[in-house]
Structure 1
């Protein structure tokens, strides 16, 4: 994996080094600095970031659980290949079955403090919509995944959360190869969804999530 000039150099060491390492590798994948299918050397990344292999392997485990990297015995890690069009269609079909259900549950179960976190994520994503390029899209992708994952977790169904956990990253990787631009329309859809959850409107939250996913699918057409 080549060292991109924008992120080359040693990482600063925050209280949670593993999170910083994860974010650095995630951004490289989402910015296509690591292309789908490319091998990722743990040793090389450790040297590039100036850390031991332990946080690199921890980050790779997280990325593998999200479907962004694959581990092959005796070979190591590589970036997950991009989904084909048929696989993407299957992914959206699954999302339409599960995420509106999760949104309805969140209208009843999500604590106010978590709703406030979703509102903050909406604001951050809206700010990114004013920027262009791969770096802005990579940041948007990470926030969008956090947004949808929080809704899945807050629905209170562990199986639904697990099933959805690997889906959203593939949507973003598919989009990257076509258009590296933050979809501004998605921000209004996110805000409508959070507003329905805050109003404790289960029907409205389910409808808002369904509309968001269907419009997202049409944006690929």
Structure 2
């Protein structure tokens, strides 16, 4: 499960809150590019900004390192990880194409009624992205996308597959690519409709978010017990997502 991607005014955690809130606050800064990819992280400055001591900030950064959002270098400290390159993005989707179609097929064969209820509930949560302001909708959709794929991996019954998927942190990386592309478009064009143009990669007026439309098909195959169709639809979904995200990686992440 991932934290909220929604950007906006930074909500400073109170001094007494758990470290999770510090982690979430810093993650928000990374995902919104307020801490830019490749930027060195000044722990003391970040501590002052969050109004906490350096200790919980260091603890949060250690967690974020395990989520591949920051890296620690000897004698330099923490740095925000760069955006995925085109090659890294392709490698990520190749890996997903190996494990997720299998997971979807297994989910179709093995799911319980509790699993079915959870999958239907997640589709309903995904619909919420179609009902909010366009500036926040993609963040909401990204959260749903991450939950949906994590749920399918868990429904496969394989802990190894579930763990392998969650360790890719793929949706965090994809959201960072989207945010970077949106920032570039915002800076380089006076077209007030640039967001609509960007959304065209992910959203169609007739069907809504393309990923949500594809999720419905996968869920239908899973819930009907059709392993072959569930696997095929998941593979197609991953390939379509790769195509939608590849231009941003080529533009922003390099080769």
Is the counterpart of residue 147 in structure 1 residue 175 in structure 2? no
Is the counterpart of residue 171 in structure 1 residue 196 in structure 2? no
| Residues 152, 161 of structure 1: 8 Å contact kept | yes
Cα shift readout 1:182-210 (whole Å, capped 9, x = no counterpart): 64111111122222222232222212211
Q: TM-score, normalised by structure 1?
A: 0.79
Shift in CA distance, 32/137, structure 1 to aligned 2, threshold 3 Å? farther
Moved more, 197-206 or 17-26: 17-26
Q: 1:85 deviation in Å? A: 1.4
* Structure with the greater alpha carbon radius of gyration: 2
Q: 1:54 deviation in Å? A: 5.0
Shift in CA distance, 6/197, structure 1 to aligned 2, threshold 3 Å? same
Q: Aligned residue for 1:100?
A: 101
Point out where structure 1 has 5 or more consecutive residues left out of the alignment: none
Shift in CA distance, 96/123, structure 1 to aligned 2, threshold 3 Å? same
Q: Aligned residue for 2:187?
A: none
Is the counterpart of residue 203 in structure 1 residue 234 in structure 2? no
Q: Aligned residue for 1:214?
A: 239
Shift in CA distance, 114/11, structure 1 to aligned 2, threshold 3 Å? farther
Point out where structure 2 has 5 or more consecutive residues left out of the alignment: 1-6, 183-197, 204-208, 248-255
Greater relative contact order (Cα < 8 A, sep 6+): 2
